[in-house]
Amino acid sequence: MSMNPSVTIRRLATGVPGLDEILGGGLPEFSFNLISGPPGSGKTTLAHQIMFALATPERPALFITVLGEPPLKMLRYQQQFSFFDSARIGDSVRFVNLNDELATGDFEQVLERITLEVASTSPALVFVDSFRAVLLDAARPGAQSGNLQHFVQQLGVQLSAWQATTFLIGEYQAPTDDHPVFTVADGLLALRQTVHRNSMVRQIQILKMRGQATSPGVHTFRITGAGVEIFPSAIVRDDSVNTADRSPSPARGGRRMTMGVPRLDAMLGGGLPAGFSLLVAGPSGSGKTLLATAFLAEGVRCGEPGVMVAFEQTPSQSLNPAIDDMVRAGTIGLINTRSMDLSIDEIVHHLIGMIRRMRARRIVIDSLSGFELAVAPAFREDFRESLFRMVAALSSMGVTVLVTSELEDRYTDLRFSPYGSAFLTDAIIVQRYIEIESGLQRVLAVVKVRDSPHSSEIRQFTITEGGIVIGDPLSAYEGLLGGSPQFATEGPDGVTGRTTAPLL
C-alpha cells in the first residue's frame, strides 16, 4: 500500500485583493494567525473582510470582541464597507462580546467563555478582537502578567486545536515584542501606517506564515469602500534560478516596433525592439509627450493596444487631442492619477491590471517627474529602486515601455535622467534645445539601443500639426551637446575648421 505521509494543507482564499498573493497562495486552513498593528491601521477591517469572504452557513464564523472598540461602534462603521453583509449575520457570522467577562480580570473565565462559545457552535473561523487593553492592563504595576501570558498562550494553543482557522487581533509591537503568542502563532500579519509630510501610507508585512513561501518585504495597501486592497510589491525575478519554471519572455528584442515618427525607426536601427524599455529624456516642451503619443497611435494602427500612465496635476487639463481621441475610442487605456500619496506598487498594480484587460503591448509612462511627485514622500527615497522593480516587472510581461523624463538642459555635462536611472532602460532618446541663428531649435539623438546598432547622429526636428518631423543630421555643426556648438566649415584644403559662432 502506498501512503503519502504528508498532510495536505488547504489554502483559503481570503477575499482581500492582493493578500493571497503575498501570503504565498492563501491562508492555510486551521492556522492560528495574529493581525497586529497600531490603532486605525485597518486590523478589524481586514479581519471582517476575510470573515465575510470565507463565512458560509456550512463554514460559520465567530467574531469575539474583547475590549476592543465598542461593538456598537464596530458594527456601525464596519457595515460601511461593501463586503459587510447584514443578511449573513446569524447564519454565517456570529458576533459575541466578552467585555463583561474581561472586566472581572479573570482571564480563566474569559478563556472558559471563549471555549464554550466555540464548542457550542463549532465555527470554522474564529476571530478575537482585540487584546490591546489586556496587554496594557498587564503592563501596569502590580498586574499579574504571568496570568496574562498564560492566558494568551493557552488561548493560542486552544485556538490551534479547534479545527478552525483563527485570528487574534491586537496592537502588538511585532516583531520586537517578546510575547509567547508570537511563538505559538502560525501566521503574523503586521499592519502599520506612517504619516510623512501630508500623506499617509498604509503597509502590511507577512512576518511569518508557516508552511509556505510568503512574498517578502513590505507591501502597501489602501482602504476604500470595498475594504482593504493590497498592492503586492513588484518582485524582480532572479534569472539565474528556476529558469525552467519561467515562462519565456515573449519575443523580447526580436521583433521591431515602429515608432510612428518617420525616420526615427531608422535611427533606432529598424524600430524599437519589442519588449524593450525606452527612456525619452528632454527639457520641458521638447516634444516628449508628442513622441510618446505617436508611439501609442502607431500601436493602435498596428493593432497593438496601449496604456498611458499620466500624472497631470490639474483636473481640467486635457492630455492632448490625439490621446483623448484614442482613450474615448477605447483603443488605449489611460491611468491618470492626481493622487499625491501613491506607492509605485499601487501604480504598477493598476497598470498590470489594465495591461491584462486590454492585452496591451505598448506602455507609456509620462513622465517620471510627474510620477515622482505623485508618489508619497515616504517612497521617494526608494524611487530609483522602485523604478527598477517596475521596469523589470513590465519587462517580464513582454510589453514595450516608453518612459519620458523631464531633463533640464545642461550644456556642461551630458545627462539623460535626473534619477541616475538611465541604465534601467534598454534604449535612450535624448532631446535638447539648441540655438541656431538666434532661434531655439530642437534636436534629438538615439543614445543607446541595447545590443543593437543604431544611429549616432544628432538630428534636428520640428513639431508640426502632423507631429514630429525629423530632419537631416546637423552635420554642419559640432559640439551641439557640449555647451560650445560650433559651425563647422570646410577649409580650402578640405580640412574642417571652426567659426567663432557659439550656439549657446
Partner 1 sequence: MTDTSEDARRQAIRQALSRSVGTDSGAAALAAAFFGLWQQTARQLEPVIGARGVDVLFGRALHLTSRRFPWLPTTGHGNSTASLYVFQTCLAGRSAPEVSDAGETLLLAFTGLLAGMVGEPLTGRLLGAAWTVREPDTLPQPQTQTQTQTQS
The answer to whether residue 65 forms part of the interface with partner 1 (CB under 8 A) is yes
103 vs 226, which CB is nearer to partner 1? 103
90: contact with partner 1 by CB under 8 A: yes
**Terminal-residue alpha carbon distance, the chain:** 87
Binding of partner 1 at residue 340 (CB under 8 A)?
A: no
CB of 12 to partner 1, least distance (A): 25
Q: Give the separation between CA 211 and CA 83, rounded to whole angstroms.
A: 29
Q: If we measure between CA atoms, which residue out of 378, 389, 319, 381 comes closest to residue 347?
A: 389
Is residue 463 at the binding interface for partner 1, with CB under 8 A as the rule? no
Contact between 236 and 392 under an 8 Å Cβ cutoff? The reply is yes
Asked, as a colleague might, if the bond just before 175 is cis with ω within 30 of 0, I would say yes
Instruction: Give me the least distance between CB of 336 and partner 1, in Å please.
Output: 36
- Cα radius of gyration rounded to whole Å, the chain: 30
Nearer to partner 1 among residue 73 and residue 328 (C-beta) = 73
Which among 98, 136, 132 is positioned nearest to 115, based on CA atoms?
A: 98
Q: Which helix (H) or strand (E) holds 118?
A: helix 107-121
Q: Is 71 in the site for partner 1 (CB under 8 A)?
A: yes
One DSSP character per residue, 167-206 reads EEEE---TTT---HHHHH-SEEEEEEEEEETTEEEEEEEE
- Bond into 145 cis (ω within 30): no
Site string for partner 1, 91-110 (x = CB under 8 A): ----xxx-xx----------
**Nearer CB in complex with partner 1: 89/503:** 89
Environment class of residue 24 by beta-carbon count within 10 Å: exposed (0-12), middle (13-18) or buried (19+)?
Answer: middle
> Quick one: 311 exposed, middle or buried, by C-beta within 10 A (0-12, 13-18, 19+)?
buried
Q: Choose between 75 and 335: whose C-beta lies nearer to partner 1.
A: 75
Please say whether the beta carbons of 393 and 356 come within 8 A.
Answer: no
* Residue 86 binds partner 1 (CB under 8 A): yes
* Closest approach of partner 1 to the CB of residue 79, in Å: 6
CB of 91 to partner 1, least distance (A): 9
158 contributes a contact to partner 1 by CB under 8 A: no
Smaller CB separation from partner 1, 79 or 147: 79
> Where does this chain touch partner 1 (CB under 8 A) — which range of 85-93, 147-155, 237-245, 329-337?
85-93
Residue with cell 496635476: 313
- Three cell numbers at 293? 503619443
Number of chain residues interacting with partner 1 (CB under 8 A): 17
Binding mask 14-53 for partner 1 (x = CB under 8 A): ----------------------------------------
Site membership for partner 1, residue 180 (CB under 8 A)? no
The yes or no reply on residue 75 touching partner 1 (CB under 8 A) is: yes
Query: Residues 276-315 vs partner 1: string with x where CB under 8 A?
Result: ----------------------------------------
Which residues contact partner 1 (rule: CB under 8 A)? Answer: 65, 70-73, 75-76, 79, 86-87, 89-90, 95-97, 99-100
